[in-house]
Amino acid sequence: HLIDCGVRFLKEYKTDFVFMSKLPVGVGADVFSTQTLRDASRLATKPEHREHVNEYFFENLEKFNSANLSFGPELQEPNLRLTVDTKEDLEMMRKIYAKFYDGNLVNVRDVIKLYRSEPEFFTNSVIRQRYGSERERILKLG
């Protein structure tokens, strides 16, 4: 649903780049037009821009027509890690799925409610997310 919102926004407002802020880490996406990705491929010179293309965009926002999509407070929990970057994250995902998985997709709203009511359940909360730049960190965390 969130990715669909990003794609619709990109098309409707003819932006180059749409990012989502204040969401849990691992939820949402950065959305780029095909032409913008081609431009970045041509202009990017650092190896990290090849691995994580969004870092190039955050370092060069002034070159692009970008937009920050924000969502309601029920989804705003930027300190919650719902990504699998570390062994601890994987263990956390296994705990979340053991608690919520019933054959259907796990609803992120349910996980956020649990985080707000039982933060101690989230054993990976001590891990700090690495951002490509300070600008990206500030924009993503809101």
- Residue 27 within any structural domain of the chain: yes
Contact (Cβ atoms closer than 8 angstroms) between residue 38 and residue 90: no
Mean pLDDT of 19-36: 93
Residue 7 binned pLDDT confidence (cut-offs 50, 70, 90): very high
Domain count, the chain: 1
Which comes out higher in pLDDT, residue 73 or 49?
73
- Work out the mean pLDDT of the chain and round it to a whole number: 89
- Residue 101 within any structural domain of the chain: no
- Domain range for 10 is 2-74+131-141
What pTM did the predictor assign?
A: 0.81
- Residue 116 within any structural domain of the chain: no
Residues 54-106 have pLDDT tens digits of: 888 888 889 999 999 999 999 999 999 999 989 999 999 999 999 999 999 99
- Residue 95 within any structural domain of the chain: no
- Residue 64 within any structural domain of the chain: yes
Q: CB within 8 A of 81, min separation 6: which ones? A: 24, 25, 26, 89, 92, 122, 124, 125, 127, 129
- Residue 8 within any structural domain of the chain: yes
Query: Is 48 a residue whose pLDDT tops 90?
Result: no
Instruction: Pull the structure tokens for residue 114.
Output: 């649990």
Number of CB atoms found within 10 A of residue 12's CB: 8
The secondary structure of residue 20, as a DSSP letter, is: E
- Residue 42 within any structural domain of the chain: yes
- Residue 122 within any structural domain of the chain: no
